[in-house]
Structure 1
Amino acid sequence: MSANSRLTIAAHALAWIGLYQRQGNDVATSEQIASSANTNPVVIRRLLGELRRAGLVESRRGVGAGWALARDLGSINLLDVYEAVEPGPLFALHRATPDHGCVIGHGIQPAMQGVYEGIEETVRRELSRVSLEDVLRDVLATPR
């Protein structure tokens, strides 16, 4: 099973836009952000579209087209970003209903559901504690 990097790439994009705007620029292009994240601009555009729907960024069309923050980095936390790009739960139960005639099949979903709910609650609480301002501060403090 591979790890999902959507939250990381979305946080990267938001921190990049925030720094770019602080440097006096109005909007950032998906190509600029993609270059920093070393990914395809289409990946960035898709994520930014989800972030726009969540009210975290705005897009501008025409001359000077690009992306800008809709809110200050300090008012956006990682839970906001997570909810924008990861709409489902962290863990899922079986796609097909297990055999309820089997002792394990009968009890596995209720047993795992409680575990998953606790993990989800912990993850959400921790993500809500970290703002994108915190992320940018830590990025800038990282030695090169």
Structure 2
Amino acid sequence: MSANSRLTIAAHALAWIGLYQRQGNEVATSEQIAGSVNTNPVVIRRLLGDLRRAGLVESRRGAGAGWSLARELDAMTLLDVYEAVEPGPLFAMHRAQPDPECVVGSGIQPALQGIYEGIEETLRRELARVTLEKVLDDVLAVPR
């Protein structure tokens, strides 16, 4: 299994847009953001679409097209971003029902369910504590 980077890329994009707007720019293009992330603009547009549906960014079409923040970075948490780009549970159970006649097969899901719920609750609580403003502040504090 490989790690999912959607939350990281979405946080990167939001911090980049926030800084870009602070520098006096009104909207950012997906191409500009993709350059910072070093990915294809299509990847950025898909993520920004999820962020738009969650009310975190706005898009403008036509002349002067691009993306802007729908609210300030200090009013967005990593939990907001996580919920926008990772709508499902952190951990899933089997795709097919395990063998109910097997002692492990019949008991594995109930055994893991509570553990997974506790991990998810802890993750959500920690993500809710961190604003995108804090993320950008930490980015800007990294020695170059």
Fold shared, TM-score > 0.5 on shorter chain: yes
Work out whether 1:138 is the aligned partner of 2:138. yes
1:104-123 alignment runs, 5 A limit:
104-123=104-123
CA distance in 1, matches of 2:92, 2:61: 39
Kindly provide the amino acid, as one letter, of the partner of residue 51 in structure 2.
Answer: L
Residue segments in structure 1 that go unaligned for 5+ positions in a row: none
| 1:76-111 Cα distance to aligned partner (Å, 9 max, x none) | 000000000001011000000011101001100000
Q: Give structure 1 regions of 4+ aligned residues with deviation exceeding 4 angstroms.
A: none
CA distance in 2, matches of 1:118, 1:100: 25
1:36-75 alignment runs, 5 A limit:
36-75=36-75
CA distance in 2, matches of 1:105, 1:138: 45
CA distance in 1, matches of 2:106, 2:30: 48
CA distance in 2, matches of 1:96, 1:42: 33
CA distance in 2, matches of 1:119, 1:76: 22
**How many residues are treated as equivalent by the alignment?**
144
Using the TM superposition, give the Cα deviation of residue 34 of structure 1 relative to its aligned residue in structure 2, in angstroms. 0.2
| 1:8-28 Cα distance to aligned partner (Å, 9 max, x none) | 000000000000000000000
1:10-29 alignment runs, 5 A limit:
10-29=10-29
Using the TM superposition, give the Cα deviation of residue 124 of structure 1 relative to its aligned residue in structure 2, in angstroms. 0.2
Kindly provide the amino acid, as one letter, of the partner of residue 53 in structure 1.
Answer: R
Kindly provide the amino acid, as one letter, of the partner of residue 50 in structure 1.
Answer: D
Match of 2:82 in 1: 82
Q: TM-score, normalised by structure 1?
A: 0.99
CA distance in 2, matches of 1:59, 1:33: 14
Match of 1:58, SS state, is strand
Q: TM-score, normalised by structure 2?
A: 0.99
Match of 2:59, SS state, is strand
CA distance in 2, matches of 1:106, 1:49: 40
CA distance in 2, matches of 1:104, 1:8: 36
Match of 1:67, SS state, is strand
CA distance in 2, matches of 1:38, 1:143: 21
Tell me the C-alpha RMSD between the 2 structures: 0.3
